[in-house]
């Protein structure tokens, strides 16, 4: 079962505060679910939000997927070099599409309404990575690699009946 995260979208407007300055007002707050699905991965390609294999991109970010909230303070500059805020928002947007395939917002609308600060965005991004590629801690790292290797190297059973796709 997928873990369901939440994203808050809100419209903001800058108005005069009556004292010669400006203030930001918030309206239209909407909380939406967020998790990655096969459909959202496909939509990422169809919408041009992802290039190449997202799984390949995710595997490059494996060190980030190992982090928990307490580890974020321990990130070094090399870790941050691999993180692009727009790429993080793309994955979060795809997670919102995964939870609601009829999401009203396109990516530009989403970005204009998503106001998470860097740490909030990074935490959600890492959580989505972990959910997508599995929590790659030392305990299950070898199981993941072995399972991947087994699934790729299996040969079809010649004794199995071929399915007839013609009706």
Q: Is residue 28 part of a domain?
A: no
Q: Is residue 163 part of a domain?
A: no
Range 3-27 average pLDDT: 93
Q: How far apart are CA 112 and CA 10, in angstroms?
A: 8
Give CA 85 to chain center in angstroms.
12
Q: Is residue 6 part of a domain?
A: no
Name the average pLDDT for the chain: 76
Q: Per-residue pLDDT for 141 more than 50?
A: no
Q: Is residue 59 part of a domain?
A: yes
Q: Is residue 129 part of a domain?
A: yes
Q: How far apart are CA 142 and CA 36, in angstroms?
A: 23
Number of separate domains in the chain? 1
More confident residue, 29 or 129: 29
Q: Per-residue pLDDT for 33 more than 70?
A: yes
> Which 3-state string (H, E, C) describes the chain?
CCCCEEEEEEEEEEEECCCCCEEEEEEEEEEEEECCCHHHHHHHHHCCCCCCCHHHHHHHCHHHHCCCHHHHHHCCHHHHHCCCHHHHHHHHHHHHHHHCCCCCCCHHHHHHHECCCHHHHHHHHHHHHHHHHCCCCHHHHHHHHHHHHHHHHCCCCCCCCCCCCCC
Q: Is residue 58 part of a domain?
A: yes
pLDDT band at 140 (very low <50, low <70, confident <90, very high): very low
Q: Per-residue pLDDT for 105 more than 50?
A: yes
Q: Cβ distance 22 to 14 under 8 Å?
A: yes
Q: Is residue 7 part of a domain?
A: no
Residue 48 is part of which domain span? 35-149
pLDDT for 133:
73
pLDDT for 126:
83
Q: Per-residue pLDDT for 24 more than 60?
A: yes
pTM: 0.68
More confident residue, 102 or 61: 102
pLDDT for 68:
58
pLDDT band at 78 (very low <50, low <70, confident <90, very high): low
Least confident of 90-99, 128-137, 148-157: 148-157
Q: Is residue 158 part of a domain?
A: no
């Amino acid at each position: 079962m997928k873990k369901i995260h939440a994203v808050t979208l809100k419209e903001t407007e800058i108005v005069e505060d009556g004292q010669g300055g400006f203030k930001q007002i918030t309206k239209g707050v909407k909380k939406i679910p967020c998790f990655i699905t096969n459909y959202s991965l496909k939509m990422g390609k169809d919408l041009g939000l992802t290039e190449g294999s997202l799984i390949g991109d995710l595997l490059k970010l494996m060190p980030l997927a190992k982090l928990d909230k307490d580890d974020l303070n321990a990130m070094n500059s090399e870790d941050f070099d691999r993180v692009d805020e727009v790429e993080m928002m793309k994955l979060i947007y795809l997670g919102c599409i995964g939870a609601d395939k009829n999401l009203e917002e396109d990516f530009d609308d989403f970005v204009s309404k998503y106001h998470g600060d860097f740490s909030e965005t990074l935490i959600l991004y890492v959580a989505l990575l972990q959910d997508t590629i599995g929590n790659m801690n030392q305990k299950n790292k070898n199981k993941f690699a072995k399972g991947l290797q087994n699934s790729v190297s299996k040969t079809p059973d010649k004794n199995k009946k071929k399915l007839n796709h013609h009706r």
